[in-house]
Structure 1
């Protein structure tokens, strides 16, 4: 039983670790998207300030071009993280299934032990009752 308890603790730790990984990736994606949105606003502000919206124009703001490149890199990184998130979610689901299997085995064994303990207790009570009856029979 102790080895099963250790296994359950290990599986719970693995599930918790996978949850942390999923949450971390989700946080990173949200942060990248927020940063890309901020850059979009900065690009628009630079375009408005310069009065030029055509990226091919010779006087297009250099900062706006650099911000576009950074924004595109952030979006690309966020897209890559979405793939990692899917993998992490799959790993979490698998770890959770493994934990449930071990917990069900533990529950089944505990139930069997309770039934066996009840049968032992009932046998002991039957033995005591039989002893008492024999003692009463001898008294008569």
Structure 2
């Protein structure tokens, strides 16, 4: 019947959600550096929480997402000391300001096809609270 253990299919599905929709990629070891490119704005969700990680090593990433008319927010709690963010904006929206942990932070606007993004690489130290204010 198929090649490989049945758990492989479940692992592939979880990896697709982690790295695809949730956009959480372990860029180092045990999430000490995270590449963060969530795609929640393409869904109908305006608020959610997503948790992933390695149970055995107790390294977890807890992401909370909120979308309002004035902006969007991601709060990441993790072991990361660096987060490389590539934040998808909702269709028709631009970023006026980016706050990280309450401090205005330089960002680079990016475009892939017709999609707009906010790019920033920041120090985390346990929490990285990204607030994108729409222009």
TM-score range, shorter chain: under 0.3
Which structure would you say has the larger RCO, counting Cα contacts within 8 Å and 6 or more residues apart? 1
Higher strand residue share: 2
TM score, norm. by length of structure 1: 0.21
Greater share of helix residues, 1 or 2? Answer: 1
